[in-house]
Structure 1
Amino acid sequence: MRPPAYNGDDVQQISPEQGERNVAMAVCVQLAGRAIIRVVSRCEEAQDNCNLDLSECQLMQVPDAVYHLMRHTELKRCNLSGNVITKIPPKFAVKFSLITELNLSHNQMSKLPEELAELQALERLDISHNTFIALPPVTCRIPQLKRLLANNNSIIDIDVERLRHAPALEFIDLQANPLTARMHDLLGTLTRIKIELTPRQVEEWEDLTI
């Protein structure tokens, strides 16, 4: 019995571009696999030390699997820095209600859920190096929050009166934000809270000595 004859036209040729895409896809799958392994490994570590470190894990969000893996652990600290997270879901505050420190720095967030006010034990919050244009109102409602790091954002708007009545806030870093002269003056009226600000550059039109 003769083997079937193949017409050259029947053999599918893979273009160089398709070959490159296939290689790229294989690399992406490999990287994703490594990222998943890293996340699971760090969750297992957190089950022992109550410190969940998911920094630099290529996360776009907090995976649902994390909540499942940590369901029997009373977390005290959570580090989500150095990812590409755009938002924190409301259920985060429910699942991790006992944390005292939360690091959300170096992500792509522009707002926070109001449910974070339910974090009754949170004392330190880092939202630096994100894309906030206003200081999230919820930061003034977290009952035990003492230190707030909000430097290196695009914050131009702050509700100073709301900030004045923050229940426990002692320190806030607002350096490297494009705050107006008026906002600098208003923040200067807050005496109970220590505020770090980048010295404002005087515009040419403001310099009356010219």
Structure 2
Amino acid sequence: MKPPAYNAEEVQQISQEQGERNVAMAVCVQLAGRAIIRVVARCEEAQDNRNLDLSECQLMQVPDAVYHLMRHTELKSCDLSGNVITKIPPKFAVKFSLITELNLSHNQMSKLPEELSELQALERLDISYNAFIALPVVTFRIPQLKRLLANNNSIIEIDVEMLRHSPALEFIDLKENPLPARIHDHLQDLSLRLRIDLSSRQREEWEDLSV
């Protein structure tokens, strides 16, 4: 079989496209390399100050290498904000069991693993600016959790009874969520027990009907 024949113009176009692909690949490799260097450097810092800051590191998940690098460090806090993480693996709670603060804001998460309830020392959890449509019930089972930031999500569902019986929760931020009026009213009834920040109650369509 004869190889396909190209004229000079087609050869030039193919060569240009290949060159553009090579440049794009080189840029991606360079960016990935910088991201890896940044992650390793921040893990080394955390070995000294016990505060792991992996914010704005272009992460789609927590790399296994992070668990390996931090295996001899008892972390106090972990910041994973400003990435494109969609989920946290169950082993996270096992590897970082002593953290008191966890920042997962500005990611693309819609669920949390049940294993987070094993974070016995966690007092502050930030899941704001994500893609949650229901407030994760595991947050009501974290024994020492005092502050929960869940603003700027798409939350329409909350188990108010479980929230009522959360063991240590003192403050929850639910601003900028499309909460149904019924849930909004139930949450206001809880305001004597804990502090809840809410956006203005949205009127239901039937409430706008004139009698």
Amino acid at match of 2:196: I
Amino acid at match of 1:192: R
Amino acid at match of 1:110: S
The alignment partner of 1:105 has SS state of coil
Q: How far apart in 1 are the matches of 2:15 and 2:158?
A: 55
Task: Tell me the TM-score normalized by structure 1.
Answer: 0.91
The alignment partner of 2:189 has SS state of coil
- How do 1:125-144 and structure 2 match up within 5 A? 125-144=125-144
The alignment partner of 1:106 has SS state of coil
Q: How far apart in 1 are the matches of 2:91 and 2:44?
A: 21
Which is richer in helix?
A: 2
| Structure 2 gap segments, 5+ residues each | none
The alignment partner of 2:134 has SS state of coil
Q: How far apart in 1 are the matches of 2:202 and 2:26?
A: 50
Q: How far apart in 2 are the matches of 1:192 and 1:56?
A: 36
Give 1:202's aligned residue.
203
Q: How far apart in 2 are the matches of 1:89 and 1:119?
A: 13
1:129-180 residue CA offsets vs partner (Å, 9 max, x unmatched): 0000000010000000000000000000000000000000000000000001
Give 1:36's aligned residue.
36
Shift of residue 110, structure 1, vs aligned partner: 0.3
1:80-136 residue CA offsets vs partner (Å, 9 max, x unmatched): 000000000000000000000000000000000000000000000000000000000
- How do 1:102-113 and structure 2 match up within 5 A? 102-113=102-113
Asked whether the equivalents of residues 129 and 153 of structure 2 are also in contact (C-alpha less than 8 Å), the reply is yes
The alignment partner of 1:34 has SS state of helix
Q: How far apart in 1 are the matches of 2:196 and 2:210?
A: 29
Shift of residue 188, structure 1, vs aligned partner: 1.4
Give 1:117's aligned residue.
117
Give 2:182's aligned residue.
182
Amino acid at match of 2:72: H
Q: How far apart in 2 are the matches of 1:15 and 1:170?
A: 63
Q: How far apart in 2 are the matches of 1:44 and 1:186?
A: 46
Asked whether the equivalents of residues 180 and 202 of structure 2 are also in contact (C-alpha less than 8 Å), the reply is no
Task: Tell me the TM-score normalized by structure 2.
Answer: 0.91
- How do 1:1-210 and structure 2 match up within 5 A? 14-190=14-190, 191-202=192-203, 205-207=206-208
Amino acid at match of 1:195: I
Shift of residue 193, structure 1, vs aligned partner: 1.3
The alignment partner of 2:78 has SS state of strand
Q: How far apart in 2 are the matches of 1:31 and 1:207?
A: 53
Calculate the aligned-residue CA RMSD, in Å.
Answer: 1.9
For this pair of structures, how many residues does the alignment match? 202
Q: How far apart in 1 are the matches of 2:57 and 2:171?
A: 29
Identity of aligned residues (%): 84
Q: How far apart in 1 are the matches of 2:112 and 2:182?
A: 25
Shift of residue 19, structure 1, vs aligned partner: 1.6
| Structure 1 gap segments, 5+ residues each | 1-7
Asked whether the equivalents of residues 181 and 202 of structure 2 are also in contact (C-alpha less than 8 Å), the reply is no
Q: How far apart in 2 are the matches of 1:56 and 1:138?
A: 26
